[in-house]
């Protein structure tokens, strides 16, 4: 964990009681779907806001209603979101709540039954995505396979790796290691880093299948 904290690419939310409290609710298997959605949305908004802080800004002076000059900043580029379908779509509302009229693309990646590797099935991206900073959205980072595949799709579309911020809620150390070694220029913003992956590649202690719990598709 100490080695992960040394990675300049990795940003986590502060370990405040509020963050820990929200994560406790989400991790509890007894939490109702309604509460899971409500508290997920709260935490997702916080993670999105944290990620937005790593976009480029420049100085801007403005005059306040008192006639005083405030030395502020303004965002200097264009940004869009790209969700990894399906769980990543749960993060779109939080992004729209933070960035009015933001454009959002989608990437669908599924495991190939023959090779066991992630395979691209569908992508729809803004035509000018190569000119934008991209918030790549997926609430869980486990092995890093799907996330790396999504980054490759963005790079092939002309997005510079240093303009990609991968935003999620829970990350496994193994996935972080894979992503940061393969793409040393991207940033990862997450709420919390968990202990490990188990033999089934599930994040431990984890949160379960986020998409199933959020969208109500548990069996």
- What is the set of active-site residues? 111, 115, 209, 212
d(CA 109, CA 125): 14
Closest to 118 in 3D by CA, of 178, 44, 190: 178
In the beta sheet, which residues pair with residue 85?
108
- Quickly list H helices, the chain: 2-5, 17-27, 33-52, 92-98, 145-156, 173-182, 210-215
Cα–Cα distances in Å, from 167 out to 64, 115, 135? 34, 27, 7
């Amino acid at each position: 964990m100490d080695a992960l904290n040394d990675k300049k690419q990795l940003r986590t939310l502060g370990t405040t009681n509020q963050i820990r409290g929200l994560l406790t609710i989400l991790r509890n298997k007894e939490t109702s779907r309604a509460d899971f959605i409500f508290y997920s949305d709260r935490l997702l908004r916080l993670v999105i806001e944290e990620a937005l802080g790593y976009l480029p800004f420049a100085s801007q002076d403005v005059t306040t209603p008192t006639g005083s000059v405030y030395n502020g900043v303004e965002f200097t580029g264009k940004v869009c979101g790209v969700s990894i379908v399906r769980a990543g779509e749960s993060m779109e509302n939080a992004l729209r709540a933070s960035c009015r009229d933001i454009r959002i693309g989608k990437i669908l990646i599924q495991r190939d039954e023959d090779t066991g590797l992630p395979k691209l099935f569908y992508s729809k991206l803004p035509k000018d995505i190569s000119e934008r900073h991209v918030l790549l959205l997926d609430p869980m980072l486990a092995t890093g396979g799907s996330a790396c595949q999504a980054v490759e799709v963005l790079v092939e579309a002309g997005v510079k790796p240093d303009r990609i911020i991968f935003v999620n809620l829970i990350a496994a150390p193994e996935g972080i290691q894979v992503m940061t070694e393969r793409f040393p220029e991207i940033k990862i913003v997450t709420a919390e880093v968990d202990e490990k992956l188990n033999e089934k590649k599930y994040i431990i202690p984890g949160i379960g299948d986020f998409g199933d719990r959020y969208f109500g598709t548990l069996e």
